[in-house]
Amino acid sequence: MAKNTLSFVCQNCGAAYNRWQGKCESCGEWNTLAEEDTTGSVPVSIRSKRKGRTFALESLSGKTQDAPRLSSGMTELDRVTGGGFVRGSVLLVGGDPGIGKSTLLTQATSLMARAGHRIVYISGEEAIAQVRLRAERLGLSDAPVQLAAETSVEDIVSTLSEGAVPRLIVIDSIQTMWTDTVESAPGTVTQVRASAQALIRFAKKTGAAIILVGHVTKDGQIAGPRVVEHMVDAVLSFEGEGSQQFRILRAVKNRFGPTDEIGVFEMTGLGLREVTNPSELFLSERDLGTPGTAVFAGIEGTRPLLVELQALVAPTSLGTPRRAVVGWDPSRLSMVLAVLEAHCGVKLSGHDVYLNVAGGLRIHEPAADLAAAAALVSSLVNAQLPTDAVYFGEISLSGVVRPVAQTPARLKEAAKLGFQHAVLPESARGEVGGDAGLSLNAINSLTTLVAEIAARGSRRGESSAPAEKNATPPRFRRGEG
């Protein structure tokens, strides 16, 4: 028999060490090392005697068929997965506690079961009675979903192997599963990795689609070893704020569809409701006529999306001004503030800056730079931006407004919602053509936008002195569209 090998494994990132230490050198977390037995169930002497088998090699040319998909019955969920669940695929769904992961999967499995498919829901955290209570609250208690409360992977695989192969299996959650092949407590890195490997082998062998629910850490990352994310076919992140009714399902990884695709849901008393037009929903409660608000025309995956950016710039009495961001990258905000001060003469070193993306959406693309800069300058000089205008464009460190991808799709979405004007990079004018449907204000430099907003504030007669002081003089304006 092989000698047992003990090591100390970080429960946050999966790094292994020969001895215990207080801090993990890989992820920097404290008190996350736990002693685990990393010896496999099969001795090395037996594994070394196995002879490899030969297999046929094929060329790149040949006919390929799209993988058959199983629709979930929810349009937004199918959009994120790329059109439905692929046979033999394994998906990892993560999200904060109480965000609605179990509610989403209960609704999806009920719709698929009503369509005549064999669906199995295995809960390792809740009893069968608790799952039934949730289904009754959602009005789905009559759906023929097969339930079980089990945590042993061997027992689960043995049970599912009997009879017809299920079309979809939900494991809620992977952190509660354990297998006999390793000697570690459930929830440890070794158990999570071994349990996921066993379930993935079962999916590839039988053709059943499996959804693994994963916990998230305090940083919003899916807990457990990162190798699990590499093993599965797709990683979906369920995002949202507890105080907001909106929920965003985002594809972080997808081998069978586009990445960074999103699906929008609204949490109601009867479960999650699909939002087919998220732009209209995010803009439904706009503060019209208020300085410091700008509408950003963005792209999430393949979907154009309009969202409101809110900025507040206020004088501070602190030695170090505050910089608070919700829904955007703080590093991008610091860069935009530096460009405004270095190239546009906008002095913000004595002001607190707050930036918020309305509706609880998190923006990742740099095209929001121009909208954020417009909202910041508008709040500083107390100038109202046009309520029928959208902004998008990337700002470089030299103050030049750079083009972004999918400009026609952004303008089409803005025109559909009744917007009349668009502020965009000068180099994107040729991509649009003459049938944009909006009045285009193409600019080359951020100084042009700052001067226009400052002039608007001066005409209103509100805070004209700071506006004239901070704005770039007209003789330095460049690249007006």
Instruction: Return the half-sphere exposure (C-beta side, CA atoms, 13 A cut-off) of residue 119.
Output: 23
pLDDT-based confidence at 276, cuts 50/70/90?
Answer: confident
Rounded average pLDDT over 28-33: 84
Q: Of all residues in the chain, what percent carry a pLDDT higher than 70? A: 86
Q: Over the stretch 51-98, which tens digit does the pLDDT of each residue have?
A: 677 878 878 777 766 568 899 999 999 999 999 999 999 999 988 888
Q: How many CB atoms lie within 10 A of CB 352?
A: 17
Q: Over the stretch 394-442, which tens digit does the pLDDT of each residue have?
A: 999 999 999 999 899 999 999 988 899 999 999 887 777 655 678 999 9
pLDDT-based confidence at 224, cuts 50/70/90?
Answer: low
φ/ψ of residue 95, rounded to 5:
175, 165
pLDDT higher than 80, residue 458: no
Calculate the average pLDDT of the chain: 85
pLDDT-based confidence at 318, cuts 50/70/90?
Answer: confident
pLDDT higher than 90, residue 380: yes
pLDDT higher than 60, residue 464: no
- Report the predicted TM-score, pTM, of the whole model to 2 decimal places: 0.76
pLDDT at residue 44 in the model: 43
Residue that the structure tokens 């959650």 belong to: 173
Q: Over the stretch 38-56, which tens digit does the pLDDT of each residue have?
A: 555 444 444 445 567 787 8
Q: Over the stretch 162-207, which tens digit does the pLDDT of each residue have?
A: 989 999 999 998 989 999 888 878 878 888 889 999 999 999 999 9
Q: Is the peptide bond preceding residue 173 cis, with omega within 30 degrees of 0? A: yes
Checking phi first, is residue 170 left (phi over 0); if not, alpha (psi -120 to 50) or beta? beta
pLDDT at residue 1 in the model: 44
Residue that the structure tokens 């979809």 belong to: 168
pLDDT higher than 70, residue 231: yes
Rounded average pLDDT over 326-331: 93
pLDDT higher than 50, residue 4: yes
Residue that the structure tokens 């339930």 belong to: 147
How would you class 106 by CB atoms within 10 Å of its CB: exposed for 0-12, middle for 13-18, buried for 19 or more? buried
pLDDT at residue 42 in the model: 46
Structural domains in the chain, sorted by start: 6-45 (no CATH), 69-276 (3.40.50.300), 281-476 (3.30.230.10)
pLDDT at residue 246 in the model: 85
pLDDT at residue 346 in the model: 92
pLDDT at residue 386 in the model: 92
The b-or-e profile of 231-242 (16+ CB within 10 A means b, else e) is: bbbbbbbbbbbe
Give the per-residue SS3 of 313-327.
Answer: EEECCCCCCCEEEEC
pLDDT at residue 466 in the model: 42
- The tokens for 43 are 């001795």
